Amino acid sequence: MSLEGKVILVTGGTSGIGEGCSRHYAEVGAKVVIASNQEEAGRKLEEALRAEGRDVRFVYTDITCEESVRNLVAQAVAAYGRIDGVHCNAGAWAPGKVTEFNDSAWDLIMGVNVKGVLWTAKHVIPVMERQGKGVLLVTTSVAAHIGFPQHVIYCASKAALEAIIRCLTTDHAGVVRVVGISPGTIDTPMLAATCAGWDKPKEELYAEVAQRIPVRRLGQPVDIARAGAFLLSDDADYINGAILTMDGGTMVLPPW
Ligand SMILES: NC(=O)c1ccc[n+]([C@@H]2O[C@H](COP(=O)([O-])OP(=O)(O)OC[C@H]3O[C@@H](n4cnc5c(N)ncnc54)[C@H](O)[C@@H]3O)[C@@H](O)[C@H]2O)c1
């Protein structure tokens, strides 16, 4: 899949799925603007990819803050003159039932997962409108469709993203294509963090989970990156308002 010459911005592009996407999009020819709030990891990734001859730049961004997102978009346009695609991937997670609900859980999870996508779309869509074309890809989650135990705010945030994908598809028709990827269980630092507090080591938990997934393995960031590259490319020009489930087949299993 080629993204040759395209300018692609990846939020949360320094860890897990986002890091895999930053690397892969650069490998298939894109100029990649890597955004996240992980300054050190961002500088290291930028250096490593440039050493491989890739055209990338890291921009420190707090996706929850409008000024920071405005600066990200301005820096991308100043560097490359256009933005062909944005992968809204930054995400935050914290466990909790509604009885433990508080403002900080709301601010963290809704702030990053939902407000972050809204700020990004707000500032990047005018650039795409000036160009006459652009693609927004959003990382949602199967959590939008499952009542994961003790994940009420996270699940709500991912369900909100599905609604946002549909609304942006309608509001910016003819100019911006809006698509989503809904991952299942992907081997990333966020997934590892969810294993804390269980009575088994991570490796044992992962092996058990893998046996329940129809393809018999956890997903890797590159699995998402390959599909993301296709959805961001011109080959996917007729895919719009759609969300691709990438869970190795888990969601089609019968409930027994
Ligand atoms: N790993 C999974 O199994 C899985 C499953 C479904 C969906 N997802 C989603 O995939 C996306 C990536 O998750 P991951 O598993 O790679 O997690 P991760 O923790 O490895 O990466 C999250 C990224 O988001 C960035 N981020 C967090 N808060 C930010 C902020 N305020 N400003 C800018 N960047 C911020 C982090 O710096 C990091 O780069 C998330 O949206 C997550 O909800 C993950």
Q: Where are the domains of the chain?
A: 7-184+220-244, 188-218
Catalytic residue among 25, 154, 206, 238: 154
Report the SS3 class of residue 59.
strand
Report the nearest-CA residue for atom 19 of ligand 1.
190
Instruction: Collect all residues with Cβ–Cβ distance below 8 Å to 239 and sequence separation of at least 6.
Output: 177, 179, 231
Q: For the chain, how many residues are written?
A: 256
119: its two tokens: 């700020």
Report the nearest-CA residue for atom 23 of ligand 1.
12
Q: Is any atom of ligand 1 closer than 6 Å to the C-beta of 36?
A: yes
Q: State the residue for tokens 């393809």.
A: 215
60 catalytic? Reply is: no
Residue 16 near residue 190, CB atoms below 8 Å: yes
- The CATH fold assigned to 7-184+220-244 is Rossmann fold (3.40.50)
Q: Over its length of 256 residues, how does the chain's per-residue pLDDT go in tens digits?
A: 799 999 999 999 999 999 999 999 999 999 999 999 999 999 999 999 999 999 999 999 999 999 999 999 999 999 999 999 999 999 999 999 999 999 999 999 999 999 999 999 999 999 999 999 999 999 999 999 999 999 999 999 999 999 999 999 999 999 999 999 999 999 999 999 998 888 899 999 999 999 999 999 999 999 999 999 999 999 999 999 999 999 999 999 998 8
Report the nearest-CA residue for atom 42 of ligand 1.
91
pLDDT digits (tens, 9 = 90+) for 169-215: 999 999 999 999 999 999 999 999 998 888 899 999 999 999 999 99
Residue 11 near residue 90, CB atoms below 8 Å: yes
| Residue 188 exposure: Cα atoms within 13 Å on the Cβ side | 25
